[in-house]
Amino acid sequence: MGTRQAQISIYPDRGGGYRWRLRAGNGHIVADSGGAYTRRRDAVRAARRLVRLVRGRLEITGEEAFRPTVPIGLRRAGGPAAS
């Protein structure tokens, strides 16, 4: 069985806003936007900002430095990769 890659999904919430969430390769949610964005494009921008900030800079205190083995990409919830 192959290793699944971490994914960020952009999805509409019940209040009409948009949120993002980061799922680890095992499917567990490890981070989310914490609040809604009025426009979908703002949620996408925030998720892209997160990807830029953490790419290649993840470290676990007290452990070996963690380097992602697969890139983190943006995906629409239930759809193709966001552009």
Report residue 51's pLDDT band, with 50, 70 and 90 as the boundaries.
confident
Is residue 52 included in any domain, yes or no? Answer: yes
pTM for the model: 0.64
- Length in residues, the chain: 83
Cα–Cα nearest to 72, from 53, 55, 49: 55
Is residue 53 included in any domain, yes or no? Answer: yes
Measure the CA–CA gap between 51 and 82, rounded to whole angstroms: 13
Percentage of the residues of the chain whose pLDDT score is greater than 70 = 63
Q: How many domains does the chain have?
A: 1
CATH number at residue 52: 3.30.160.160
Is residue 81 included in any domain, yes or no? Answer: no
| Mean pLDDT, rounded, for 2-15 | 85
Q: Give the domain extent around 54.
A: 7-76
Is residue 37 included in any domain, yes or no? Answer: yes
